[in-house]
Amino acid sequence: MDTQWETYEVFHQTKRGDAHVHVGSVHAPDPQMALQLAKDQFARRLKCVSLWVVRTKDVTATDYQDDGFFAQSTDKSYRDPKAFESPEKAVDDEH
């Protein structure tokens, strides 16, 4: 029987509208206890308006060995504004 509690990743939000930022992890028997432990550990000294906890085993990440995952699949150079020439602006001689 496993005697270790699950690991939860903790995300902290300093003020409403800001992104939640990963600040660390806690070990807890359930999500509610993880929130309490995260509050005690990560919201004690930092200003905090929201905490998220996510079971570490529920986080899916890319593999550093999978270089092709981020490769561009199609050429989208047409989206680059530098690919287009803009007409020159007419100069008003009166001013």
Measured between alpha carbons, how far is 66 from 45 in angstroms, rounded to an integer?
38
Closest CA to 20 of 11, 28, 29: 11
pLDDT tens string for the chain (95 positions)?
567 899 999 999 999 999 999 999 999 999 999 999 999 999 988 889 999 999 999 999 888 888 888 777 676 666 777 766 767 776 666 65
pLDDT, residue 65, reads: 85
pTM as predicted: 0.68
pLDDT, residue 69, reads: 81
pLDDT, residue 88, reads: 74
Which domains occur in the chain, in start order?
1-49 (3.10.20)
Phi, psi of 62, deg, nearest 5: -75, 160
Measured between alpha carbons, how far is 80 from 74 in angstroms, rounded to an integer?
14
